[in-house]
Structure 1
């Protein structure tokens, strides 16, 4: 993939097994988010082929919520969930009883919880997570990682996680890959 004359991503081949979590690390600006957007089908300026399952969910760096809709609508509209399914999804992430609130009435941590609820409630085969715990303090980041671990344990999902944090990658991933070079290539992270 190239932007203008500048090559960004070289040929990349990633195979995710069910229930596997692969962390992708690398320096800022190397193309990690571009890779995630390409896999998600949000980026089309590339040569080659992307094979992905039909059921895919993505959690972005910043919560991508419909701020003009309630918390419940943020689950109902994109996923078609029933009221009981919404209540269950919100309870799983510690937002029980917050369905009538609007996203701007939630803290950043709560907005991230809602993003996780929406991702897991769709029962994806593959979950893409692009720096989902960035800009959170250490305690809240730890709390969110614990929540992710609990949700992942109860859902048969394969996860591709982009992170700058090596401790986060080591905690959450079964495999760590590094994206580096120009154009960027994926390779196993050196031990």
Structure 2
């Protein structure tokens, strides 16, 4: 799985999420207009509490560190290590270790109940992705390794969905696609 493929997959996943959110917004707007009552003026979101800002900062600290490491692994996997089985296996093992470290750090954080549930779901789907990454790292040929690319890309979808939700609940912008 190349870094470009990961970025394209992230963009498609975010695009689908935005399309879904826009569709929901249109339905709600239409329902509000059909009610015969004038629409209430939009209210500004209240500023995040100091506690919520601290939760967001703690989450970002582990997410940024993990993403930085994964970016290095997947850039090498897509670039200089693409044709070298042993190097590609090492990149995948490091990626799986990084995913597991993120999960441990995430589960050590304290969140409000709703966000806690999403954090647990994120750790669960991320662990499944780490298991698949480890399995891919254990293959014995490059052609077999290439067969895992689509499965690894598909395993990103539930992780990205949970990340988008937890970031929203913490008052953070969606993850970048760059």
When normalised by structure 1's length, the TM-score is 0.27
Higher relative contact order, structure no. (Cα contacts within 8 Å, ≥ 6 residues apart)? 1
Q: Who wins on radius of gyration, i.e. which is larger?
A: 2
When normalised by structure 2's length, the TM-score is 0.28
The structure carrying a bigger helix percent of its residues is 2
